[in-house]
Structure 1
Amino acid sequence: MANISASQVKELREKTSVGMMDAKKALVAADGDFDKAIAFLREKGIAKAAKKDGNVAANGLAQVAVHNNDAAIVEINSETDFVSTNDTFNDLVDMVTDVIAIKKPNSMEGALALPTPKGTINDAIIETTQITGEKVSLRRFEVVNKDDNQNFGFYLHNGGLIAALVVVEGADEATAKDVAMHVAATNPEFLDKDQISSDRLAEEKERLTQEALKEGKPANIVEKMVDGRMHKYLAEICLVDQPFVKDPDQTVGQYVASKNGTIKSFVRYEVGEGIEKVAKSFEDEVRSQLK
């Protein structure tokens, strides 16, 4: 068996970011061969990640990266918010978002296979799982493109618990960022009325009509009431019709128009939305980090 020195352990730790004992065990198992030790750690990481496949990862971060006319918005999850504030996890999120924005994959499988300084994105996720001791996963991403006469604007709330990415045409980046902040705050469902299905509009109009009729109003009054309530409904779910958070006296659409622009698209990610979370006490979270 090779005699493993402290300097070898230190070098392997610097290359892989694993703990001291894991680095030493890998070098012992590889008889001092660095390449074999790294392969050993990777196999160990894959096995560890596989064991955690059933764990719920509902914390994490969302991030946005912009490269010329391409941008990406990404959500990467962890099991606890302890890990989501860890430098290793943050570095992974930044790196993955950059690579996706540059390479523009069109599927999750394609994204996970993209090359990075740490192998593929999937390899980097496995390594982070090994280092943090938690399930880490790339949950979703979207690549957004713009034309030369358009601008991106993005906003991260609470360091990335909510991320919003907006494209505007005609208006400047500052305007686009203002809209992204609004999107992060209000969570609109649609850009405008044209994106809502006719069935949904018809169902909502019928519901409001029946509601008004039950109030005993005459038909001509009911029609006006329904028109007013439909306008309020659209203002709740359509970005361009919402009162602008920085100036509620105008809609978001009016604000952007005042800057000689129009909104072309938006994407909003809120970390963990739609994931059924497992209740865990603060004590349990601390204990899980000590395992």
Structure 2
Amino acid sequence: MITASQVKELREKTGAGMMDCKKALTECDGDMAKAVDWLREKGISKAAKKEGRIAAEGLTRVATKGNTGILFEVNSETDFVAKNEQFLHLLDVIQNAILDTKAADVDAVLTTSTPEGTIADLITNATATIGEKITFRRVSVVEKADDEFFGSYMHMGGKISALAVLKGETNETVAKNIAMQVASMAPTYVSQSDIPGDVVEHERELQLQMMKADPKMAGKPEKVLQGILKGKVDKHFKDQCLLDQEFFLDPKMKVANFLKDNKVELVSFVRYQTGEGIEKREENFAEEVMSQIKG
């Protein structure tokens, strides 16, 4: 039995029509990932990039201290809380605690002591005072070598945070530009050599099935078909690989060329976007207002 919520989720992930989504889920026995592929094969999916949809509210943070860089995310129920002074102070305390202790997982952060109490206690107090559920979601601690340097950037006060580790001639402008590239263009990998083999093979099979269904491909020599297939797979992953992306300040230039021109190498990067992958509870704002009035 395919539910309306499943159809809605697939629509938001792909941009396809309601009936197409229902048919895809029916054909794939309700398997969401297979339904996305099914729509792509049929050429119906309009927005494959929406798979990591943004849902929950709150803020992310990025900060560096010496050879340590950190990113973390704290979620709230509404966007209003992201501007709350107590919430922002909570983030400041968490930031300083992680930089001092280098706590690298959620449990370690929550049990960290501060002059105001443990992080878990502070979150409980914030939840009680602000009146919304506050949760510490995730953290990344990145250590760099002495001959490496950081680039960091926060967009819209922390809706998106990015941290890049670079090597070569230290250049703060280049470092920030790369962090901004990561924030704005949302790459998944540094280069195509970093893509897991099973991910490449999955895309290759998907593109192959799409080509088989294309009448224009009929009768083409095998060597030509293999070249077309490679081109399609490379094109799919181009925007996911940072070095292959167009540089946001000069679309005629690839990021790899920008780094080479500045004698800098990219070592790694981390990107957090508030609420990515979290399902947000559905609300009817009008009903909520009426319930407040009646209450």
Identify the TM-score tier after normalising by the shorter chain. 0.7 to 0.9
Change (3 A) 1:287 1:151: farther
Q: 2:135 aligned to 131, 134, 137, which one?
A: 137
SS of the counterpart of 1:65? strand
Q: Indicate conservation of the 8 Å contact 1:63/1:74, yes or no.
A: yes
Match of 2:11 in 1: none
Q: Report the Cα offset of residue 186 of structure 1.
A: 1.5
Q: Indicate conservation of the 8 Å contact 2:105/2:138, yes or no.
A: no
SS of the counterpart of 2:107? helix
Q: Indicate conservation of the 8 Å contact 1:70/1:102, yes or no.
A: no
Note the alpha carbon deviations across 1:32-75, whole angstroms, 9 max, x for none: xxxxxxxxxxxxxxxxxxxxxxxxx9210001111111011010
**What's the Cα RMSD here?**
2.2
Match of 2:63 in 1: 65
Match of 1:185 in 2: 184
Structure 1's unaligned 5+ residue stretches are 1-56
SS of the counterpart of 2:281? coil
Match of 1:277 in 2: 280
Letter in 2 for 1:238: C
Letter in 2 for 1:118: E
Change (3 A) 1:287 1:161: farther
Match of 1:79 in 2: 77
Between 222-231 and 165-174, the greater mean CA deviation after superposition: 222-231
Match of 1:10 in 2: none
Match of 2:197 in 1: 198
Q: 2:263 aligned to 256, 260, 264, which one?
A: 260
SS of the counterpart of 1:228? helix
Q: Report the Cα offset of residue 165 of structure 1.
A: 1.0
Note the alpha carbon deviations across 1:69-121, whole angstroms, 9 max, x for none: 10110100111111111111011112202211221013322111112121111
Match of 2:155 in 1: 157
Q: Following superposition of structure 1 onto structure 2, how do residues 233-244 of structure 1 map, counting pairs within 5 Å?
A: 233-244=236-247
Length-normalised TM-score, structure 2: 0.73
SS of the counterpart of 2:231? helix
SS of the counterpart of 1:237? coil
**Is residue 233 of structure 2 the alignment partner of residue 230 of structure 1?**
yes
Aligned sequence identity (%):
37
Alignment partners' CA distance in 2, 1:282 and 1:162: 26
SS of the counterpart of 2:239? helix
Length-normalised TM-score, structure 1: 0.74
Alignment partners' CA distance in 2, 1:287 and 1:223: 61
Q: Indicate conservation of the 8 Å contact 2:151/2:178, yes or no.
A: yes
Q: Indicate conservation of the 8 Å contact 2:191/2:244, yes or no.
A: yes
Alignment partners' CA distance in 1, 2:57 and 2:290: 15
Letter in 1 for 2:66: N
Alignment partners' CA distance in 1, 2:231 and 2:179: 27
Larger radius of gyration: 1
Q: Indicate conservation of the 8 Å contact 1:65/1:98, yes or no.
A: no
